[in-house]
Amino acid sequence: MVNGNLHRQLFEKGAMFLNWYRRLEIALAVTQGLDYLHSFAHPPIIHRDVKPSNILLDDNMTAKVSDFGISKANLDMDTHVSTRPAAYCRYLNPEYFLRRHLTTASDVYGYGVVLLELITGQLSIDHKRLEDYNLVAWFKPRIVKQGIQAVIDPWLASNFPVCL
């Protein structure tokens, strides 16, 4: 794809600036892609590796979920896929580690981590982040105690809507 992947655009030098509305458009496109895989594909598909490097951006910066080489078709969505995950641990839902079952919830959790990266402009795991190297653990107490300004990507400055 012309604009590479979301990881490149969020975290690498020389990347294009993603304003708030572009980030929302990317998030919506990924949501629609995962919804299609889980609800409308026949048979339904569990992606198993939702992360920014698997979200490609075309010449209009429209997001496309990619890398289906490790996806698993699931004929009965009420059950799970009992294969090993392909995702990095940072994008796997905590329930996976308890039950060793991948479900659509695994993809949704990975998507949630991607959303946090879009909002904060930070990597999901960053050992340079002193408060907590895990973005999920870092995010929750900050937003509860200090509000959106404490977690929003500094590159966005105040160029985002705040709902009160």
Name residues whose C-beta falls within 8 Å of residue 57's C-beta, 6 or more positions apart in sequence.
1, 2, 3, 4, 5, 6, 9, 26, 63, 64
Give me the catalytic one of 49, 58, 107, 132: 49
Per the CB < 8 A criterion, the answer to whether 142 and 122 are in contact is no
Other Cβ atoms closer than 10 A to 40: 9
Q: Is 132 a catalytic residue?
A: no
Active-site annotation, residues: 49
